């Protein structure tokens, strides 16, 4: 679960990471009220779960109430990379001397935590990372050992932070690590972590992703869940009792069982495609479930082809085949379907499909063949769309 900046800052504050005083506002009047409380000048900040708000015009300094009105009015309702701004965070503006970058995340390949720290933080950190990777000091932290004050101090030296910032920055990093571990974050990022002109180090932005697997031990996360904007595709699938994950490619995937769904995703990638989503119809799926799954996938506009990969166990392939046929009769499926069915009652299923096979519904004997076909169809459709 991703948090909004204001929620991330509230989370940081719980652990003692210094942030600026401020408050949320959903209207222009509330923005002015929050500004009066925070003290001018303030910064008016769009709350959307996407980076680059500053460059998109979603972060503005305001010296007085009139300026707050102007900026809050302009930013509320603004579209930032497909996210509509419905809420603002207003905080007392800081005088920035330096902008640093600090984060902790998991390095899955190395099986340890990874801290990243740079003296070159701010809105261009991506370019810094790409062009001057040596400007980012990386620190692997063994989760069984953690990080101590000496390691944090060596790390800020390594990153070449300004001498007057080092002691406070090291303390912030220790706290950020505690927040990341005890707070069960997948990512805890501060960009920028600033040094103010009067020599204080604090967090000016917050990007926090919470680990959903730890939700059971964090009842306080409910307030974050309440503001989550659900992917409409995921909501529709949930209503039908289907497990759906939205992705950003072009091949829609339907499989039975999470394991098969994920290996199907891998095979699609392996043959050069990208998945638009994957939908696990579970075990024992019948015709109704299959029809509902196709409807959900069909409602995803990014889908250019649909790959149905069923290995019948409890799920019977004849039922699945009936579901596909029924769905084709019920809804106008926009993309061609490639289906591979095997396992329980596969022969019967193939017989059911046979009279319906066409360019729009193709059957392939293996997962690899089917994936190749679906990826080729998606590529052809995407190519046409681009012309
Ligand atoms: P992002 O663009 O979504 O990462 O939003 P940030 O919260 O990181 O803000 C972007 C940039 O706005 C920062 O890097 C700062 O340069 C600037 N900014 C944000 N808050 C303040 C502030 O209190 N004072 C000043 N002077 N600049 C700020
Ligand atoms: Mn930022």
pLDDT in tens, 4-17: 999 999 999 999 99
> Angle formed by the axes of helices 317-330 and 287-298, to 10°?
50
Q: Percent of the chain scored above 70 by pLDDT?
A: 98
Q: Does the pLDDT value for residue 387 go beyond 70?
A: no
Q: Give the whole-angstrom CA distance, residue 213 versus residue 221.
A: 12
pLDDT at 287: 78
Which residue would you say has higher pLDDT here, 288 or 11? 11
The CATH architecture that domain 232-384 belongs to is 3-Layer(aba) Sandwich (3.40)
Domain boundaries along the sequence of the chain: 21-92, 96-225, 232-384
Question: Is 189 among the catalytic positions?
Answer: yes
pLDDT greater than 70 at residue 384: no
Best residue among 7, 12, 85, 192 to mutate for probing ligand 1's pocket (most ligand atoms within 8 Å of CB) is 192
Q: What is the mean pLDDT of residues 26-47?
A: 98
Work out whether strand 251-255 and strand 275-280 pair parallel, antiparallel, or are unpaired. Answer: parallel
For residue 21, is the peptide bond before it cis, meaning its omega torsion is within 30 degrees of 0? no
Residue 241 has pLDDT above 90, yes or no: no
Q: How far apart are CA 48 and CA 60, in angstroms?
A: 15
pLDDT band, very low/low/confident/very high, at 114 (cuts 50, 70, 90)? very high
- Report the pLDDT value the prediction gives residue 288, as an integer from 0 to 100: 81
- Indicate if the pLDDT at residue 231 is higher than 80: no
Instruction: Tell me whether residue 101 is one of the annotated catalytic residues.
Output: yes
Rounded to two decimals, what is the model's pTM?
0.76
pLDDT in tens, 348-362: 999 999 999 999 999
Mean pLDDT, range 64-79, rounded to an integer:
98
Highest mean pLDDT among 182-191, 218-227, 252-261, 276-285 belongs to: 182-191
CATH fit for domain 96-225, picks 1.10.10.10, 3.30.470.20, 1.10.10.60, 3.90.1150.10: 3.30.470.20
CA dist 241 and 52 (Å) reads 35
- Span 72-91, mean pLDDT? 95
Among 19, 20, 96, which residue has the most ligand 1 atoms within 8 Å of its CB, making it the best to mutate? 96
Output 234 or 113, whichever has higher pLDDT: 113
CATH 3.40.109.10 is the classification of domain 21-92: no
Report how far residue 193's alpha carbon sits from residue 103's, in angstroms, rounded to the nearest whole number.
10
Per-residue pLDDT tens over the stretch 194-219: 999 999 999 999 999 999 999 999 99
What does the DSSP 8-state code read for residue 2?
B
Residue 249 has pLDDT above 80, yes or no: yes
The Å distance, Cα 55 to ligand 1 centre, comes to 10
CA separation (Å) from 225 to 62, 129, 242, 251? 31, 32, 20, 29
State how far the Cα of 96 lies from the Cα of 303, in Å rounded to an integer. 45
pLDDT of 97 strictly over 70? yes
Which residue do the tokens 């889908």 mark?
303
């Amino acid at each position: 679960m991703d948090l909004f900046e204001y929620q991330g800052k509230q989370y940081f504050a719980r652990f003692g990471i210094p942030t600026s005083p401020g408050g949320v506002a959903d209207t222009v009047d509330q923005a002015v009220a929050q500004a009066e409380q925070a003290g001018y000048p303030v910064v008016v900040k769009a709350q959307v779960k996407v980076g680059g708000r500053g460059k998109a015009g979603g972060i503005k300094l305001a010296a007085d109430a009139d300026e707050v009105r102007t900026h809050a009015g302009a930013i509320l309702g603004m579209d930032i990379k497909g996210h509509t701004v419905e809420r603002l965070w207003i905080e007392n503006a800081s005088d920035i001397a330096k902008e640093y970058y600090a984060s902790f995340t998991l390095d899955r390949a190395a099986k340890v935590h990874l801290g990243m720290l740079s003296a070159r933080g701010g809105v261009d950190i991506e370019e810094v990372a790409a062009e001057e990777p040596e400007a980012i000091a990386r620190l692997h932290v063994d989760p069984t050992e953690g990080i101590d004050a000496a390691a944090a101090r060596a790390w800020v030296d390594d990153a070449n932070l300004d001498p007057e910032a080092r002691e406070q920055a090291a303390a912030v990093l220790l706290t950020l690590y505690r927040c990341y571990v005890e707070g069960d974050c997948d990512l805890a990022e501060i960009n920028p972590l600033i040094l103010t002109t009067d020599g204080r180090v604090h967090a000016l932005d917050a990007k926090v992703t919470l680990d959903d697997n730890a939700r059971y031990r964090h009842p306080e996360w409910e307030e974050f869940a309440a503001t989550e904007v659900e992917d409409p595709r995921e909501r529709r699938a949930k209503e039908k009792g289907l497990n759906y994950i939205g992705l950003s490619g072009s091949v829609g995937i339907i499989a039975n069982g999470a394991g098969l769904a994920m290996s199907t995703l891998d095979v699609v990638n392996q043959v050069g495609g990208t998945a638009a989503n994957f939908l696990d119809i579970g075990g024992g799926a019948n015709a109704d479930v299959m029809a509902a799954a196709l409807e959900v996938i069909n409602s995803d506009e990014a889908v250019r082809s649909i790959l149905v990969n069923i290995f019948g166990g409890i799920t019977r392939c004849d039922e699945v085949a009936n579901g596909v046929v029924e769905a084709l009769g019920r809804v106008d499926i926009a993309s061609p379907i490639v289906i591979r069915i095997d396992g329980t009652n596969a022969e019967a299923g193939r017989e059911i499909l046979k009279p319906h096979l066409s360019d729009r519904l193709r059957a392939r004997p293996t997962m690899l063949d089917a994936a190749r076909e679906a990826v080729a169809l998606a590529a052809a459709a995407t190519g046409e769309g681009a012309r």
